[in-house]
Structures are given as structure tokens and as C-alpha cells.
Structure 1
Amino acid sequence: MSAAAPTGQVPVRHRCLTQPTRQDGGNFGGYAEKRASYWRGRYKIQDGKYGTVADSTGAVVKFATKREAKQAADAEEVTVRRGQWRDPGLGQETFGDYASRWYAAQDLAASTMQNYRRHIEEHLLPDFEDKALAGVLRTDVDAWEKKERAAYAASSVKTWRSTLHLIFEDAIDEGLLTSNPAARRRGRGKRAGRSRDRGPEKVVTDALGILLTAERAALLSGRDDEFVATVLKGYTGKRWGEIVGLETEFVRRDAFRIEWQLYELDTGELVRCPPKDDSYRTIDSPDWLSALVSDHIARTKPTPCSCHGKTYVFQGQGTARTGGHQGAKLVDVARLAEVSTGTVSNVLNRPDRVAEATRVRVEKAIADLDFVRGGTVSEHAAHWRRNGFATWLFTQAASGWYPKKAPQEARPVPLLGEQWPGIPVRGRNASERADACWMPIAKGLTPHGLRHTHRTMMEDLGTEKVLMDERMGHIDSSVSARYAHVTAGMRKRLLHGLGEQWNAALDARRAMSPHSPVAVLDRLLRAGGKSGLPVRAASPAWFWGDRA
């Protein structure tokens, strides 16, 4: 440093020298040492070892006067006597080197390790990799956060800063730093506009919305699995990984046990790991929901997957159907012709076994849908993929629109409206052959939004907080929670309330149309069992509309 430091400056870094030449004598306090054109401050660290006053980068401070050098040296010697002195070499390791060493030392869940790696590599290293740990200032962190917020959601940036804060905290524990530049100081900064840091409110729906979304998801996939899974998620509040990772051995007569989840890594690997935050729990199930899942297992007869060797309740779809599949499927032909898939298969392979009128009807459906044989049958994948399920089934079911995917823009799901609530049209010229489209049920609803929906439904039923926390897998560490306990009466009231909501949703759906192209729902609608509750006002026009 060429310019003299201000009078009274207390630097935080030190340069150590041995064998000093004491010029002013004495046994206590720092002293000033004359150099060619400046003064420097010297202070005693221990017997035979002296330090020179330096700035935060380790450079010697060049004082203009002897007095200034002496005052700075005295201040430094006080820190030594108080045991607050640090080796000036500490903290000079680059952030990139320390972050790599820090990451390698962690032993956490695969999902957490993946998130930390993404945070470090994609958002922290580009700005801090070559900086010394001790050289990262609070102003550097604030400038980084401001830049990130201009490009990313505030909630995401907050998460990345938390990771940065954790790394620096561990550096402090190792004695490499004395303070954390990523720490937020309370009461600092502007108050106005803080609400902008909040993310958008989560979209939720109700019991009828769950039912209708589940029906549409099944229509889009061409099978009942998505109907059962969507209803199960909406009425249990399970996390996505807990639905995908539900093993048949944990499906019980009156409950579902949460012991494992399947977490999808960025590599595509599905890792079998404990539920988030070790939220092992048993979720009580109404009789009708247990029957729905048990019947699904009996019908699909799942077998152990090759990746984990476990038998899971739900399977994924074929590879061609997980991302933007456009061709008509065998089930689409069957629905349009109002026959079974076996009958369609007979028309394709053994037409002599099918009645003439039925064969003509099936062949017309094949022509109308531009069905291409051999391009639609694929082996089911072992598990759903989060993005495939959300993007190509759930989002379309909730909003009624296909998402934007180059080269195509976002567009309504084209339907043939002859059989309510409409059959999705696929294949060439699907939009031209369609005559209807779906109206949104809950635009912006996501699979995780069903977890929020379940909590909202319980709130609406007046469920006790202790039972809601148990069901959702949340931990309340408050004192009052220690004295709250779940009782049989609480469980009974909740299951009764959920049953009433389900029956009311079935009644409302039956009022729209007494039948459904989805086999499992059609059986429920035919079974009757009216709840006697008021039916929500709705009409087919609310569920689908003319494309004109």
C-alpha cells in the first residue's frame, strides 16, 4: 500500500517476521520502525516472534508518521494479549479449493448432495472461485445476490445464499475466518418491497378439482394408473417421491406406511432413500381410498422392478409416452369405437373373429385417428419421471393446454366431444379433426400443489394441527406441540370428513355425466352411493368448450 492508512486504523491481517530489530526498547506495547520513506508498526506476538501491522490483504501498512505507526502497533499487541490474534496465512485458500474440499467432506442424502453441487458449480463458483476466503467481503456477496436476483427467482437466490453462508460458517469453525460475509444483519436494508421476495401463492383445488384432474390425466395417458395416483396424492398429501416410491408391502387395509421414497437425480437415476427429513409415518386411509388402491394392485399385478428389485404400486409409461408423444394409441381407437382394446387388437390381427359392424366401426376409428400400428406399443417404464408426468400429463389435465415445446407453441388439448368429457385427439391434423377443448380446472396447479390442497382440505374440515402435522410429515418443535397428541376421535372425524368430500365430488361429477371413458371412474359412477350432500353447481360447459 503506497498511501498511509488513516490514523487509528486497526488492520485485521498481519505479516509475521522473526528476529526483529527493536529500535525504541521497552517490554510492553508496540513500537514504530523507520523505513526509507515511511514508518511501520511492530508488535510482539510471543517471545522471539514479532508481527508487522498489515492491511486485510496482508500488505504492510506504510504510515506517514511515527505516532500513527505506534498507535496501530499498540492496538495489534492488545489483540495478541487478548488471545484474538490469527495467523495471517489463514483464509488465503481460494473459495474454489475450499468449496471442493468442503463438498467432499459432506456425507448427506443423495438429493442434498446433488443440490449442494448444483448450487456451488452453477451459482457460487462463477463469482467466487478464484477469490481468497478472507478476501470475500460482505459487499461482494451483496453484489452477487443483486446480480442473481435479476435473473432468477428470489426464493432460489435465497437458497443459494444459504449454501454460501453454510460454507463460510464451516470455514469459521476451522479457524480460517473470523466472520461470515454471507450473514444477514438484522435491521439493515430497506423495509419497503420485502414482500416481493415471496413467491407466488401456491395454486390449490378442491375435492371435485382432484377428481376431474385425475380423470383427465387418465384420458391423456390411456390407462387408469394416473387416475388412482392423482386421487391418492390429493387425499393423502404425499410427496411426489413417496407416491412413485410406494411399495405394495406398505399398502395396508386402513393406512399407507411411508418408509421410502424414490428421488430422481439430475443423471436420471432414481435413488431409493428415506422420506424427506426422515418423515416416516403412517397415513390413515378411508375405506374407499384403500379399496381404490387395492383394486388397482389386483388389476395391474405389479412385479419387482429391475432397478431396485422392489414391487411398486405404480409403473411409469413407455419411453415414447413420457415426452410429447403425438401419435394415436390403441386405447384411443378403442374409446372412439366404444370397444375394448382386445377387440381393436383382433381387428388388426384376426379380423375374421370380429362381427362385421364392429370391424367397420373400429376401422373407421383407426382412419379418423390416423392410427399407425406398431408406433404406439412400448414396454412400460419401471417408474414415472417427475418432468414427464408433470409436463405431459398433469399440467395438461389441470390447465387443458399442451405446454410450449419447440417448434410448437402452447395450444389447447384437442378433443372429440362426442363422449363426455371428451377424448384427446392425437396424430396428424389432430387440431383440425377436434371439435372441443377443455376449460382450465386450476391453471397453475402442480403435482406438489395437491399436497397443499390436502392440507387446505384438512383445514377446511377443522382438523387438529397435531394430526395435520403427522399426516403431512411435518415436525412442530414448539412447546405447545409437546403437549398435543393424536386421538382415535381425531382420526375418525378426519376420515369421515374426507369421505364426505369424496362422495360430494362423485355426486357433482355424476351430475355432469353418468359415465366416464376412464374405466375405474365409470365403475364408481355406476355404483351410485349418493352422499346426500348438496351437489356443487357445475355443467359440462365448465369442463369443456367448443373450439370455435
Structure 2
Amino acid sequence: MGFAEHRKTYWRGRFKVEPGRYDTVVDELGDVIRFRTKREAVQAANAEEAKVRAGKRKDPAAGQITFGEYASRWYAEQDLAASTMQNYRRHLEDHLLPEFEGQSLAEIQRGHVDAWDKKEKALYALSSVKTWRATLHLVLEDAMDEGLIESNPATKRRGRGKRAGRSSARGPEKVTTNPLGILLTAERAAILAGRDDEFVATVTKGYTGMRWGELVGLEVAFLRPAAIRVERQLYELDSGDFERCPPKDDSYRTVDIPPFLSRLLTEHVQRTKPAACSCHSKAYVFRGQGVSRTGETGAKVIDVARRAGVSTGTVSNVINRPDMVVEPTRDRVRQAIADLGFTRGGGAVDQAAHWRRNGFATWLFTPAVSGWYPKKAPQEARPVPILGEPWPGVPARGRGAMTRADSCWVAIAKGMTPHGLRHTHKTRMEGFRTPPKLMDERLGHIDGSIQARYSHITKEMRAALMADLTGEWEAALDARASMAATSPVAVLDALLRERAARPS
């Protein structure tokens, strides 16, 4: 039993820590607590002695370790996926250590955490601050489990100190599109990139719902005649390296693909002949590009070829061996060179082993869906200037692009991100009334409910979904053909011509 000891103007609580040894009740800073009454001192002493018996009593000096020291030790003890370790390091180094590094764990109070939270929200997105606070909570929760602190000051009290409920923290609604939007976005991305790879990749993402890392990490070995096997993903680290790791949440799965997509992928592999990369010694379906598509890179040979309606070989001949090309064609190519402001070597495109998220999303996908290049110092956001022929236009690049352009692209789905294609795929399946079990399988989600456990996927369900996706694809091709019968993207142009030649 604990007891109270009178000390002139106050009482202090005393309790047994081991036979023949007593200790005094102290606060989190190690200072003796001065109780006003004997009863309060006894109650506090009994509580501390109970902790001693339960083995839960905290060493008063333990909380004096600084947050920086503990966070370094905590991080070193983690053994998680490379992507998670990178995120934790970024959260700690960029947002938590600058604020809490020099403070002892015992000094960090709820008011300080809330003040930091409010300051961060004034500078960054709410979702980002929520993630950083979750990391802080995790670190301090482990410190509490070790007995270094009594409570976790990063724990959020529900509904306290807020003017609104959960609705105040809502993020913007995810932008989605429709099958025609997928097709038009894919076509524009291919035009901006100067090759057909981006067309096939965008269509694949839109009709499978694969995550970005899964798409970039799709190996040729995992292509099946009527399916894609999701076994790996490539995660881009801050160092610039790509980590070959399991898909998110170990969502290994086989994604059925309709015949049109199987053909697109098969012909793409036959055309590009993927070779093993130097980083993983694996052959990947999709390649990257080494030159950033900032809109300031000069026009490429493929741009000139599309504008003039000839092959890239013909353009090369006009530039290097003009006598080999007939005069009317030579004049068309030279006019296209003048229109586009093409300069020799200005539009060279290096190949890279893998697409980088920022390069694809920022300089291809965003301009394709919004019709605008994003802001990048020293330039402000600006429309994508295009020459109107052939439809849907050839981007004018380099100096004076705006003055040479005929028009600009209109938005397809302004604000949509590559991940929005995953949301789009789920939305389309909802419209087909696809069974939830099949939707979860395709997207790599897990439903632990009893209903899901008693639901099963049949061949008929898979066949119905493939038929629905094929029907939407063919309708999108017909809608695109009604806009223009041809396309500057070779893969799409062949599809449109084939569609037009079919018996009515």
C-alpha cells in the first residue's frame, strides 16, 4: 500500500518499488508532485504501486530522450517494404524532425502537436498532413508501449475543437471519364510522346484498372492470351531507382482482358520487341522516355511526319537526301518543318527502361486530359498549342509555338490523374452491374465480409464483363471515327480503318 508523507506545506506520495525500497510520485519531467491533501497523495501512491506490480511503471527519466534520438532508433528497427521505408523517412526528415527533434518525448504535449498540425494545414493538403500526423502517432505509440511516455499526445480526440464534423476534411471528388474519354486521352498521350506505346498503356490502364506501379512493372512473361497476371510492381524511389516488389497489399491476381486488348498488347510486344532492362534483367511491356515532355522540347521527326502525312523515313530522306524524294512530297515535308519549327536534333527522344511517374503524369497525361501544360518555373500553365491537321492536331513546340499554332486542345476530363482511370474502370463495372466479388478481384481489393465469403465468381460472370467492355470499346471507336476517319497515331489509325472496312 502506498502512503502519504507530510512535507511542511504539502504532501507527497510514497510507494514500494521493491522490498526495502520506496519511491516518490513524480510528474513526466521527473519533478516531485506536491499534493494539497493527504488523500490525494495516497491515491496517487497506490496507483503507482499498482503499476509496479503490473510491470507497467515508467522510469521517470525515460521520457527525457529526445524525439530525434528516439525517431532515429525507431526507424532503424523497422523492416518494411522499400516504399514504406522511403515514405517514413520523408515524413520524419521533412515534417516531423524540424518541429520536434530537440524536444524530449515527455515535453511533447497535445497542444504542441495540434499547433503543428494547424500550421502544416495552412501550407499543405489536408490529406498529406493527416498522413504525417499518422506517422507521428505511430512513433509515439511505440514509445508509449516501451514505457517512455504515459500517453500519446498525437492521438486525435473525436469531434473536439472542430467547427464541423468529418465533412470538413473531405478531399475533392475523383475525376473519371467514359470509354470515349479513355480513347481520346490515349490518342493525345501518344501524340505528345511521339510513339504508340502510350496509347496502348493508357487503354490498358483504363480497361483493367491496374495501378500505376503494376502497369510500369508489367513483365512480358506475365502476359497471357486472355489475361494479365499481376505478380510484381515497380516502385520509384527518391534515389531514382526502381524497386521491384510485390503489388500493393500483396494483391496478386489474374485480370481477364477482352480480345481487343489482348490483340493490342500482343501486337505492341511484337512491334517493340522489349529487351531486358539493366536494373532488373527483366523484359517489361512498356518503356520510358529519357527526355521530359515539358512542351519546350523541339518538334520531333514523328511530328513532322504526321503533319506531312508521310513516314519518318521520308522525313529523314528530305533532311539528309532530298534528291531521293519526289518534289510534291518534298515540298509538303518542308512546309511541315516550317510550320512546326523543327530543327535537326531538337526533338530527339532518348529511351529509358521505365516510365517515371512525374514524367508521364505531368507532361503527357495531364496535357492530354486537360489540354494544358502544367505550371513549371519559370513558365506559367499554358494551353497545348496545336496545328489542326491531321485531326486531332500536332503539338507545336519550341520558340514561337503559340504564334504558329492553329488552335488548342479542349479538356477531356480536367483534373483527372492516371489513378482516375482506375476509378473510371470501377465506375464502368458498376454501370454493368458487375458482381462485387469480380470487381474486387480485378482491382486487387479484399472484402472480408460474410457476404463476400459466400460469393463466388463464375465463367458466365467473366464472359459478361468481357462482352460489356468490348461493346464499350467498339462504341468508342465508332464515336471517334465520326470525328475523323483517320488518326496520326498508327495503332489507332489501323483500328479506325479496319472498323470502317467491316461489313455494315
What TM-score range do you get, normalising by the shorter chain?
over 0.9
Q: 261, 267, 284: which is aligned to 1:295?
A: 267
Q: 405, 413, 419: which is aligned to 1:434?
A: 405
2:322 matches 1:355: no
Distance between the aligned counterparts of 2:89 and 2:115, measured in 1? 22
Q: Structure 1: which amino acid aligns with 2:469?
A: L
> Deviations for 1:346-366, whole angstroms, at most 9, x for unmatched residues?
112222221122122212222
Instruction: Tell me the equivalent position of 1:332.
Output: 303
| 1:434-453 pair list within 5 angstroms | 434-453=405-424
Name which of structure 1's ranges 462-471 and 87-96 shifts more when overlaid on structure 2.
87-96
Instruction: State the 1:321 CA deviation.
Output: 3.7
Q: Structure 1: which amino acid aligns with 2:331?
A: V
The SS at the match of 1:428 is: coil
CA contact (8 A) 1:44 1:50 kept: yes
Distance between the aligned counterparts of 2:503 and 2:119, measured in 1? 58
The SS at the match of 2:288 is: coil
Q: 1:376 to 1:57 in 2, by over 3 A?
A: same
CA contact (8 A) 1:416 1:423 kept: yes
Q: 1:58 to 1:255 in 2, by over 3 A?
A: same
Instruction: Tell me the equivalent position of 1:138.
Output: 110
Q: 256, 260, 265: which is aligned to 2:228?
A: 256
Q: 137, 142, 149: which is aligned to 1:165?
A: 137
Q: 250, 253, 261: which is aligned to 1:278?
A: 250
2:115 matches 1:125: no
Instruction: State the 1:493 CA deviation.
Output: 0.6
Name which of structure 1's ranges 498-507 and 50-59 shifts more when overlaid on structure 2.
50-59
Instruction: Tell me the equivalent position of 2:494.
Output: 523
Q: Structure 2: which amino acid aligns with 1:119?
A: H
Q: 314, 327, 340: which is aligned to 1:369?
A: 340
The SS at the match of 1:91 is: helix
Distance between the aligned counterparts of 2:222 and 2:19, measured in 1? 69
CA contact (8 A) 1:330 1:376 kept: yes
The alignment covers a number of residue pairs equal to: 504
Q: Structure 1: which amino acid aligns with 2:94?
A: E
Q: Structure 1: which amino acid aligns with 2:322?
A: P
The SS at the match of 2:343 is: coil
CA contact (8 A) 1:507 1:530 kept: no
2:408 matches 1:417: no
CA contact (8 A) 1:500 1:531 kept: no
Distance between the aligned counterparts of 1:99 and 1:185, measured in 2? 24
Q: Structure 2: which amino acid aligns with 1:387?
A: N
Instruction: State the 1:43 CA deviation.
Output: 3.0
Distance between the aligned counterparts of 1:110 and 1:80, measured in 2? 40
The SS at the match of 1:141 is: helix
Instruction: State the 1:526 CA deviation.
Output: 0.6
Instruction: State the 1:408 CA deviation.
Output: 2.1
Q: 1:352 to 1:137 in 2, by over 3 A?
A: same
Distance between the aligned counterparts of 2:481 and 2:250, measured in 1? 41
Q: 1:349 to 1:188 in 2, by over 3 A?
A: same
2:78 matches 1:112: no
Instruction: Tell me the equivalent position of 1:501.
Output: 472
Q: 1:441 to 1:69 in 2, by over 3 A?
A: closer
Q: 1:251 to 1:64 in 2, by over 3 A?
A: closer
Q: Structure 1: which amino acid aligns with 2:261?
A: L
Instruction: Tell me the equivalent position of 2:282.
Output: 310
Instruction: State the 1:298 CA deviation.
Output: 0.8
The SS at the match of 2:255 is: strand
Name which of structure 1's ranges 449-458 and 158-167 shifts more when overlaid on structure 2.
158-167
Distance between the aligned counterparts of 2:47 and 2:362, measured in 1? 63
Q: 1:328 to 1:70 in 2, by over 3 A?
A: closer
- Which of 1 and 2 has greater Rg? 1
Instruction: Tell me the equivalent position of 2:171.
Output: 199
Q: 156, 159, 163: which is aligned to 2:128?
A: 156
Q: Structure 1: which amino acid aligns with 2:4?
A: Y
Give RMSD over aligned pairs.
Answer: 2.3
Q: Structure 2: which amino acid aligns with 1:505?
A: A
CA contact (8 A) 1:41 1:52 kept: yes
Q: 1:420 to 1:97 in 2, by over 3 A?
A: same
Q: 1:531 to 1:32 in 2, by over 3 A?
A: farther
Instruction: Tell me the equivalent position of 1:147.
Output: 119
Instruction: Tell me the equivalent position of 2:432.
Output: 461
Name which of structure 1's ranges 169-178 and 45-54 shifts more when overlaid on structure 2.
169-178
> Deviations for 1:141-191, whole angstroms, at most 9, x for unmatched residues?
222222222222221111112112221222233232343222233454446
Distance between the aligned counterparts of 1:284 and 1:132, measured in 2? 54
Q: 1:531 to 1:458 in 2, by over 3 A?
A: farther
Q: 374, 379, 385: which is aligned to 1:403?
A: 374
Distance between the aligned counterparts of 1:332 and 1:77, measured in 2? 80
Q: What are the ranges of 5 or more consecutive residues in structure 2 without an aligned counterpart? A: none
Q: Structure 2: which amino acid aligns with 1:406?
A: A
The SS at the match of 1:50 is: strand
Q: 1:103 to 1:78 in 2, by over 3 A?
A: closer
Instruction: Tell me the equivalent position of 1:90.
Output: 62
Instruction: State the 1:70 CA deviation.
Output: 5.9
Provide TM-score, normalisation by structure 2.
0.94
CA contact (8 A) 1:504 1:531 kept: no
Name which of structure 1's ranges 408-417 and 251-260 shifts more when overlaid on structure 2.
408-417
The SS at the match of 1:283 is: strand
Q: Which has the higher contact order (CA 8 A, sep 6+)?
A: 2
Q: 1:408 to 1:188 in 2, by over 3 A?
A: closer
CA contact (8 A) 2:297 2:346 kept: no
2:168 matches 1:176: no
The SS at the match of 1:185 is: coil
Name which of structure 1's ranges 117-126 and 470-479 shifts more when overlaid on structure 2.
117-126
Q: Structure 2: which amino acid aligns with 1:454?
A: H
The SS at the match of 1:528 is: helix
Provide TM-score, normalisation by structure 1.
0.87
CA contact (8 A) 1:458 1:468 kept: yes
Distance between the aligned counterparts of 1:226 and 1:73, measured in 2? 70
Instruction: State the 1:529 CA deviation.
Output: 6.6
